[in-house]
Chain A
Amino acid sequence: MAFKDLRAYISALEQYGELKRISKEVDWNLEAGAITRLVYEKGLPSPLFENVKDYAGYRILGAPISTFRKLNIALGLSPETSIRELIDIYLQRKDNLIKPVIVDKSQAPCKENINIGDQVDLLKFPAPMIHDGDGGRYLCTWQVNITKDPDTGWVNWGCYRGMVTTRNTLTGSVSPAKHIGSHFQKYRPKKNAMPFAIAIGPEPVSGFIAGARVAANLYEAELAGALRQEPVELVKCETVDLEVPATAEIVIEGEISPTETDWEGPFGEFVGYSATGRGQAPVWKVTAVTYRNNPILTMSNTGVPVDEYHLDVGLVRSAELYARLRSDGIPVRAVNAPPEGVGFLIIVSVSGRTPNIAERVTSSIWGAVQGANAPFVFVVDDDVDVFDIWQVLHAMVTRCHPYRDIWKVKRASGIPFMTFLSPYERQQRLGAKVYFDCTWPTEWDPTTDIPPKISFETNYPKEVQEHVLNNWENYGFNKLA
């Protein structure tokens, strides 16, 4: 049974020991951000700030889905579900897209308070100063941004940061490389403002899937329905022709100006750095705000892994690339886009001994939307568990020839977040790529040239393994996990 709203999800987190209610007064100015950052770095329960300085009646949920355990809970699974199982479940569920349903305004909690026009005041919400040195107070860090393609009607859900600038304006990047940017490119040349809606604090699967990189023209509301196995409930906006998740905590409606810009950023980002700097970004003019009573603002404090962005990568990118490789006829065993790789690293294991398989794998990955911006690819044999980074590292240093098996692409597309690029390359989006072929060469004779692997599983006879495991505690060791 899917969670109907963020509050039901919070209750479940609490039941599983994954929520910490904080009744002590906490400052929106860096303190809430610092606590939340430490929560990510230590893998702790999500903090629910119930007493935000200067903002009685408003709450902040930090780190809403910051671990695979919390993601499993959000998806209605056992918290202990492994990433390997999670990928299978994602692929099974996504095949059955479920259209959202529209509910009446009277049934939509997000309409409990409605402020239109002059009544709009974004400053009433406890937008936190998240990182020291951010360009301003960010109200939008974990939410659903909704826009519509004016030609095709395709509605996109995304998750794009938004900084409060006045009581009725935000600024936020609208990069042409993002789906929202592809929509904006159809408005801006005609000097038309682009309608938008932002749903902060939706039920958890909608919030999760909005941040995932999926194919253009896919309506993420249907994918969220598929993953939660129930339709997402939407309600019509007050001032723009868009629909938003009906149980969202806060909804912001308005138009993105085709001409006006203001300062935005810097902001601590998913790569673990404040990477892209202060710049001019379009002004988002707010025409209405609706919100629940005692609303809960959701805050993702992006930085060094692992946070919400990295989990999106870890699941959706791994699953989508696995499906892609399989459909390309590659004997793929498993794919891992490890959260610690911030989306820049893909690890693939392959079965059998196919000549040039690493090149085929990499070509397929770099040709896919989920892999285009992954400059590092590791290809390993199927005896290596791609979800165990130590095994991958071992394979790299023992099977990848430092000269012959590292293949570099000097000129490729890049993104400004790639901190290893020079300032000029970042600005011009000029990247580079590399793949590491960590498979044994196919021309080597397996009986004479490939050395036998020495590990408990591969070296000892099954009978010896079973005997040792059965007697493990008799030797005085604790039970193996």
Chain B
Amino acid sequence: MFRTGYEIFVRKLNELEEGKESEREVRDAQTYERKQVRALFSSSPEKLPDGEDLWVRGMLGQLLDNKPWKIKILSEV
């Protein structure tokens, strides 16, 4: 019924550097539990085939991209 995967808040979409490992706070899209993670991000499912859905939100809560990005969590911090 609702979204799955993770959500992230960013000021601008280009804050997320694709293909580069970085540390960010994300939240579970179903429980809203927050996690600090090291992860890889991609706007293209092909570039991160084993990634999970990542919904990217602006600081006002709006979806900045109607399609989910992908996130591969490497470790929890």
Chain A residue with Cβ nearest B63: A133
Q: Which residues of B contact A137 (CB under 8 A)?
A: 32
Interface status of A256 (Cβ within 8 A of chain B): no
Q: Is the interface of B mostly helix, strand, loop or mixed?
A: loop
Q: Which of B14-22, B44-52, B54-62 makes up part of the contact surface?
A: B54-62
Q: Which residues of A contact B59 (CB under 8 A)?
A: 266, 277-278
Give, as a whole number of angstroms, the nearest-CB distance from B34 to chain A: 8
Tally of A-B residue pairs with Cβ under 8 A? 38
Interface residues on chain A, size class: 20 to 34
Give, as a whole number of angstroms, the nearest-CB distance from A124 to chain B: 14
**B60 & A136 in contact (Cβ 8 Å cutoff):** no
Give, as a whole number of angstroms, the nearest-CB distance from A294 to chain B: 24
Contacts A27-B1, A30-B2 given; does A274 touch B30 at CB 8 Å: no
| In-complex Cβ contact of B60 among A31, A129, A266 (8 A) | A266
| In-complex Cβ contact of A133 among B25, B30, B60 (8 A) | B60
Q: What is the interface size of chain B, counting residues whose CB is below 8 A from a CB of the partner?
A: 14
A65 to B25, CA, bound (A): 37
Give, as a whole number of angstroms, the nearest-CB distance from B45 to chain A: 23
Interface status of B9 (Cβ within 8 A of chain A): yes
**B60 & A274 in contact (Cβ 8 Å cutoff):** yes
Q: Which residues of B contact A31 (CB under 8 A)?
A: 1
Interface status of A364 (Cβ within 8 A of chain B): no
Give, as a whole number of angstroms, the nearest-CB distance from B11 to chain A: 9
Q: Is the interface of A mostly helix, strand, loop or mixed?
A: loop
| In-complex Cβ contact of A136 among B2, B32, B62 (8 A) | B32
A356 to B38, CA, bound (A): 65
- Listed in ascending order, the chain A residues whose CB lies under 8 Å from chain B are 27, 29-31, 129, 131-137, 165, 263, 266-268, 274-275, 277-278
24 A-B pairs in the complex with CB atoms less than 8 angstroms apart? A27-B2, A29-B2, A29-B30, A30-B2, A31-B1, A129-B32, A131-B61, A133-B57, A133-B60, A133-B62, A135-B9, A165-B34, A263-B9, A266-B59, A266-B60, A267-B61, A274-B60, A275-B60, A277-B59, A277-B60, A278-B9, A278-B59, A278-B60, A278-B61
Known: A27-B1, A136-B32. 20 other contacts (CB 8 A): A27-B2, A29-B2, A30-B2, A129-B32, A131-B61, A133-B57, A133-B60, A133-B62, A135-B9, A135-B61, A137-B32, A165-B34, A263-B9, A266-B60, A274-B60, A274-B62, A275-B60, A277-B60, A278-B9, A278-B61
